Amino acid sequence: MNKKYLQELVIQNETPLLVIDHAQIRRNYQEFRERLPRVQVYYAVKANPVPEIVRTLFEEGSSFDVASRSEFEVVFDTVRNLPPLELEKFIWDKLIYANPVKKPDSLHLLHAYKPLLTYDSEEEMGKILKHCPEAGLLLRVKVSDEGSMVKLSNKFGIEPEKASELIKKTIDAGLNVEGISFHVGSQCTDPSKFVKALESVAGIFQEADSKGYDIGESITRGYRVKIVDLGGGFPVRYNGQEQSFKGLSKVLMKELDRLFPEDKTAILAEPGRFMVANTGTAVSKVILAKHSTNPPAYHLDDGVYHTFSAMIYDHVPLNLEAFKEGEKAECQVFGPTCDGLDCLSENEYIPNSSKIFLPRLEEGDFVYAENMGAYSSASSTNFNGMPSAKILHVNVKKK
Ligand SMILES: Cc1ncc(COP(=O)(O)O)c(C=O)c1O
C-alpha cells in the first residue's frame, strides 16, 4: 500500500491499525478465477472473518467456507436480505462447513439447508447422520503437508487407503457422499504436494467406482458429479522468493484436466490466505524508545498478543518498516503487554522471528508491516485489557 496514503490514514486514526485494501481483495479474487477457471472459490472465512471482507467477496461472486457457527452467521448476515428461495439456494450451493469436527448445534442449524460438510471419521459420520442427515458429504483425506508453513495433517484426514471403506459405510448408512477434500497445509510453496494429493483423490474415486460405491450419484444437489475440494494452501509472496500462484495454477489446471473430466467432476477450493494476506497492512506507534539499551528497544502499541499473533499461530515472517528514513540499525522490538513473549524481534520463543533493522526511532514514530491481512486480527486477543487493532477498510466499492 502507498506509504504516503498510509501516513495520512495514521494522522486521522488512532493506532494500532490494520488497514485492509478492498481493491486488492477484488484483484486477488479475479486472479484466482482467471487462473483457475474450473475452480469455484469458497473463501475460507477463518483467514479474516470481518463482515466487510465477506461482503466484498460476496459481491465479487465468491462462495464461502466456514468452520464454526459464528463464521456461518457472518456469512448469513451478508446474504440475509436475499429473497427466501435464493437465500436457501445460496447456503445449499455456496457454503461449505469445512471443519471435519462440528458441534451438534451447528449441524442442527444447517440441517434445513442440506449443506455441504466435510468429515474424516466414522464417529463424525454418526453425528452427521443424527443431526444433519440430508447433508452432502466430502471425505477429507490425509495428504502430505511437509514444507508448508502451517501443518494440518497431524489433526485431520483419513488415510487414503481407508477412504473407500468409510465411503461404503457412509453410503450404507444412507448419507450422500459427494466427493473428497484435502488440504496440503497453509502457504504451500511446492506444487508437487497438490499433484500428489490430486493423484490420491483420483485413485480413491477409481477404487470406489470399481467397487460400485456411488460417490456424487446422489440427486439431492441436482447434479451427478463428483466433487474434488482442493482446500487451501495457495501461496502468498511474503518475501518475493516464494513459488508464485501463477506457476502453481498452471500445474493445477493441467493436472485437473488430466485426472478429472469436466463433465463428471466439480472442483472447488477454499483459499483463505491467498484472498486476504496481501490486502492488510498493520500500522503501530512507538510508545517508548529506549536508546539507553544496546541495541535500542522500541515498544509498540501492537504485539504478538494482538495483530502479530500471526507470528505465533501462523508462523508468518514479519517485515517491519518505519515511515522515517535514515540509516538502519539492529534493534529490539516489543509489543505492549507485560509478557516477555511479546517480542517481535529475534527471540527464542518464536522460531520464525528474526533480527529487525530500523532507522533511529523516537516515541510517537510509526512503523508498519505489509502482508498482515490473514490469520492476524483473526487470532488477536484482548490480553492485558488491550483491545485488538482497529480495522480500517479502504477502497470499498461504493453502492
Ligand atoms: C479446512 C480448511 N480450508 C481452508 C483453509 C484455508 O487455508 P489457506 O489459508 O491456506 O488458504 C484452512 C486453513 O486452516 C482450512 O483448515
pLDDT at 181: 98
Contact 273, 265 (CB under 8 A): no
Q: How does 98-112 read in b/e, with b if 16+ C-beta sit within 10 Å?
A: bbbebeeebbebbee
Known catalytic residues are 338
Pocket of ligand 1, beta carbon within 6 A: 44, 46-47, 65, 98, 152, 183, 186, 231-234, 270-274
342 C-alpha vs ligand 1 centroid, how far in Å?
A: 26
pLDDT at 218: 53
Nearest one of 71, 148, 150 to 313, comparing CA atoms: 150
Average pLDDT over residues 108-119: 95
Side-chain-side CA neighbours of 344 within 13 Å: the count stands at 34
pLDDT at 96: 97
236 has a pLDDT exceeding 90: yes
9 C-alpha vs ligand 1 centroid, how far in Å?
A: 31
pLDDT at 106: 94
Which pLDDT band, with edges at 50, 70 and 90, does 240 fall under?
confident
- Ligand 1 atom showing the smallest separation from residue 140 Cα: 1
Domains and CATH numbers, the chain: 3-16+277-394 (2.40.37.10), 23-276 (3.20.20.10)
- Ligand 1 atom showing the smallest separation from residue 374 Cα: 9
Q: Which residue CA neighbors atom 12 of ligand 1 most closely?
A: 232
Q: Which residue CA neighbors atom 7 of ligand 1 most closely?
A: 232
Alpha-carbon torsion (204, 207, 209, 213), positive or negative: negative
Q: Which of 184, 186, 276, 316 to mutate to test the pocket of ligand 1 (most atoms within 8 A of CB)?
A: 186
pLDDT at 32: 98
pLDDT at 283: 98
pLDDT at 241: 74
- Cα separation, 81 vs 93, in Å, equals 17
Average pLDDT of the chain to the nearest whole number: 95
- Cα separation, 35 vs 39, in Å, equals 9
Q: For the segment 18-60, what is each residue's pLDDT rounded down to a tens digit?
A: 999 999 999 999 999 999 999 999 999 999 999 999 999 999 9
268 C-alpha vs ligand 1 centroid, how far in Å?
A: 13
Average pLDDT over residues 317-344: 97
136 C-alpha vs ligand 1 centroid, how far in Å?
A: 20
272 C-alpha vs ligand 1 centroid, how far in Å?
A: 6
- Ligand 1 atom showing the smallest separation from residue 118 Cα: 1
- Ligand 1 atom showing the smallest separation from residue 187 Cα: 10
